[in-house]
Amino acid sequence: MLSNRPQLPTWFVVGCVVALWFGVAAYVHAQPSTGEEPRGIGTTGQSTPYDTSLTRELSQRSLESSVLLERPIDPALYQLGPNDQLTIMLTVSKPIQYEVVVAPDGKLIIPGVGAIDVRNRSLAESETLIQQAVARVYRDPLVAVSLRRMRQFKVSVIGAVRRTGMVVATPATRVSEIIDLAGGASTRASKRNVEIIRNGNIIPVDLMPFYAYGDLPSNPTVRGGDVVKVGVQDQHNIIIISGGVQRPGEFTWNKGDSVSTLIRYAFGFTVDARQDSIEVVKVDEVGNIRERLFLNATPDGQIVGDLPLEIGDQVFVRQKKNYFVPSRVVVWGEVKYPGYYSIEPHSTRLREVIQRAGGFTREASLADAVLIRRRLIEQDPEYGRIAQIDPDQRTPQETEYFRVKNRELQRPGILTVDFNKLMNNDESENLALQHDDSIFVPLVRGFVKVSGKVKNPGNISYTPNYKFRDYIQLAGGYGWNADEGEEKVIKGRTGETFLADNEEDYTIESGDAIFIPEKTEGEFWKGFATAVTIVAQVATIIAVVVGLLNSNNNSN
């Protein structure tokens, strides 16, 4: 039997299905995915100064660290609080195990036993209360209580840290860890000026004993709701230690500091410290010395007659001179056994060290070997002063000093030694060595370098008794625009430079260099202008002569 109800149009049914489909998809898309928290107001997909994603990252780090303990929990010291999880084992007719959580009001509810207030009670005290409560219900029960998981809470961090805000902590988290969870202390932070603000009370914290020698009581644990405030350094509130300690420097002064504590903060004495003459200098407010005191230390480092320190006090620990300082030189290059060799300063001589290094190899260039004294490599204030003066403004004396020093600086610290004479037993070349001297023996180069304005610049095989023009000829001769007469010879061993024409001042040796400069632009154009002038004058004379000859011919 056909129904008389009106039929819905097909397009209407299809439209409803499509709308329902998109509605479900939009709802599913709006829900947070697995493992993802819905974003709150002010959060974005990128990290910004106000982005909670950074807080979540720090919180995750604190959650991961919360399971790490430096040592077992002490039941007598650990105080229970909301969200602590306990395992309670009852043995009556049969063993019963309960997993219970401390409620936000501090109550612990045990099925069949009742509620027990464990707020601000230690784990040991709470176990006694639980045993008493169970005994009121069961006859002769055996009760065991264990902390299954510590609670987690928030702690605020303010002051001189990289990221102020809140971090997640546990009752085992210490102040230093709270600072680390806040990104670490800033560069101006003071380890000695930290405070815990707890229920309106201020608890001062000095972390220096913890960092210096691992004193745990100086690095207390935190509680829920604590505010950790990291102060900044006061540049005037300091004490100073220098000399024979592991870490000399400035330290923030705190009440109760003494000479012994300052030495401990500096990680103790060095091995060369003179513990029999520790000087303590006390100054007034403007820095004037008002008192000098001297203290001794026992062999185990205890200060005899320890003194309290005040702001501005300074402690000097003298050191033994040259205490077990190793003296050595280095030999490198063309010797059989290059490396470091111990010496007695001012006693061990050059030839002895060469012999200990196995002597020279066949490829050694004794003519180019050098002895470098590093202690002579130092700054020359006069050279630096003259270098700041415009060359045109220098006096003749300054110009000459700068030229000579500039040549010396090309080979700084080199001592004049003729190694050929040295190995032929010339004692005048057998110099006494000092700590940190260097002996370098290069390879035989066997060539003279010719560069500058020659046709074929490069290395030319060394030939004894050849002059600079011989090497220029072997390099193809002068190039275009070469400035003949201004050639330079540079000694490879010393770096000295000679005008090539002054052949009586030098002898060309293997490793030397010859440089042929180019005429300057001004000289080139000056010569060109002179040549043009001469040509023009000659042309004028020729024209006059030709004119006179033509006149004579016409008159004839």
- The tens digit of pLDDT for each residue in 174-228 reads 999 999 999 999 999 999 999 999 999 999 999 999 999 999 999 999 999 999 9
Strand-pair partners of 292: 281
- Hey, what amino acid is at 389? I
As to burial, measured by CB atoms within 10 angstroms (0-12 exposed, 13-18 middle, 19+ buried), residue 217 is exposed
**C-alpha to C-alpha distance for 51 and 56, rounded to whole angstroms:** 9
Question: What is the reported pLDDT for 46?
Answer: 36
- The tens digit of pLDDT for each residue in 85-133 reads 999 998 888 888 999 999 999 999 999 899 999 988 999 999 999 999 9
Higher-scoring residue by pLDDT: 542, 177: 177
The token pair that represents 283 in the structure block: 């100054």
Question: What is the reported pLDDT for 528?
Answer: 58
Question: What is the reported pLDDT for 401?
Answer: 77
CA distances from 118 to 107, 223, 383 (A): 6, 16, 80
Contact 219, 251 (CB under 8 A): no
- At 460, the pLDDT band (50, 70, 90 cuts) reads very high
The average pLDDT across 283-300 equals: 89
As to burial, measured by CB atoms within 10 angstroms (0-12 exposed, 13-18 middle, 19+ buried), residue 101 is middle
Show Cβ contacts of residue 278 under 8 Å, excluding neighbours closer than 6 positions: 259, 294, 295, 296, 297, 303, 315, 316, 317, 318
Torsion (CA) 65, 69, 75, 81 in degrees, nearest 10:
0
Higher-scoring residue by pLDDT: 482, 536: 482
Question: What is the reported pLDDT for 393?
Answer: 82
CA distances from 165 to 56, 61, 227, 229 (A): 12, 15, 10, 11
Range with the lowest mean pLDDT among 49-63, 134-148, 435-449? 49-63
**How far does Cα 510 stand from its chain's mean position?**
44
Summarize the chain as % helix, strand, coil (round to 5). Answer: 30, 30, 40
- At 317, the pLDDT band (50, 70, 90 cuts) reads very high
The average pLDDT across 272-288 equals: 89
Question: What is the reported pLDDT for 543?
Answer: 62
**C-alpha to C-alpha distance for 459 and 511, rounded to whole angstroms:** 9
Residue 394 has pLDDT above 60, yes or no: yes
Question: What is the reported pLDDT for 303?
Answer: 92
Farthest CA pair distance, the chain: 168
β-strand 497-499 against 85-91: which pairing, if any? unpaired
Residue 36 has pLDDT above 50, yes or no: no
Domains of the chain and any CATH numbers: 85-149 (3.30.1950.10), 153-232 (3.10.560.10), 238-319 (3.10.560.10), 328-377+412-441 (3.10.560.10), 447-522 (3.10.560.10)
How many CB atoms lie under 10 A from the CB of residue 201?
7
Residue 39 has pLDDT above 50, yes or no: no
Higher-scoring residue by pLDDT: 533, 220: 220
Phi, psi dihedral angles at 372 (to 5 degrees): -110, 125
**C-alpha to C-alpha distance for 456 and 476, rounded to whole angstroms:** 6
- At 409, the pLDDT band (50, 70, 90 cuts) reads low
Question: What contacts 24+ positions apart, CB below 8 Å, involve 496-500?
Answer: 496/407, 497/407, 500/468
Higher-scoring residue by pLDDT: 396, 44: 396
The average pLDDT across 398-415 equals: 70
The token pair that represents 548 in the structure block: 């006179």
How many CB atoms lie under 10 A from the CB of residue 450?
23
- At 474, the pLDDT band (50, 70, 90 cuts) reads very high
Strand-pair partners of 91: 95, 142
Strand-pair partners of 514: 450, 489
Mean residue pLDDT across the chain = 82
Closest-CA residue to 459 (of 444, 474, 470) = 474
Question: What is the reported pLDDT for 29?
Answer: 41
The top-scoring range by mean pLDDT among 53-57, 194-198, 552-556 is 194-198
The token pair that represents 391 in the structure block: 């060359």
Question: What is the reported pLDDT for 377?
Answer: 67
The average pLDDT across 249-277 equals: 93
The top-scoring range by mean pLDDT among 18-22, 261-265, 440-444 is 261-265
DSSP structural state of residue 444: P
Range with the lowest mean pLDDT among 23-32, 62-71, 76-85, 501-510? 23-32
Handedness of CA 32, 38, 42, 43 (dihedral sign): negative
DSSP H helical ranges for 492-520: none
Supply the DSSP string of 377-400, one letter for each residue. ----HHHHHHHTS-GGG--HHHHH
- Residue 17's SS3 state is helix
Percent above pLDDT 90 for the chain? 53
β-strand 370-373 against 414-415: which pairing, if any? antiparallel
The token pair that represents 143 in the structure block: 């009760």
- Hey, what amino acid is at 106? G
Strand-pair partners of 238: 252
Range with the lowest mean pLDDT among 138-147, 372-381, 476-485, 531-540? 531-540
The CA-based angle 194-77-184, given to 5 degrees, is 30
The average pLDDT across 418-437 equals: 92
Residue 312 has pLDDT above 60, yes or no: yes
Closest-CA residue to 73 (of 3, 147, 6) = 147
Strand-pair partners of 406: none
- The tens digit of pLDDT for each residue in 358-389 reads 999 998 988 889 899 887 766 667 777 887 88
- At 488, the pLDDT band (50, 70, 90 cuts) reads very high
Residue 404 has pLDDT above 90, yes or no: no
Contact 208, 262 (CB under 8 A): no
The token pair that represents 327 in the structure block: 């003296």
Strands across the sheet containing 497-499: 458-461, 447-452, 513-516, 488-490, 497-499
Helices and strands of the chain, counted as H and E runs: 12, 26
Higher-scoring residue by pLDDT: 6, 233: 233
Question: What is the reported pLDDT for 399?
Answer: 79
**How far does Cα 100 stand from its chain's mean position?**
51
Closest-CA residue to 197 (of 157, 233, 169) = 157
How many CB atoms lie under 10 A from the CB of residue 340?
11
Question: What is the reported pLDDT for 223?
Answer: 92
The token pair that represents 337 in the structure block: 């056994």
**C-alpha to C-alpha distance for 528 and 110, rounded to whole angstroms:** 114
Q: Calculate Rg over the CA atoms of the chain.
A: 45
Question: What is the reported pLDDT for 152?
Answer: 92
Higher-scoring residue by pLDDT: 115, 49: 115
- At 550, the pLDDT band (50, 70, 90 cuts) reads low
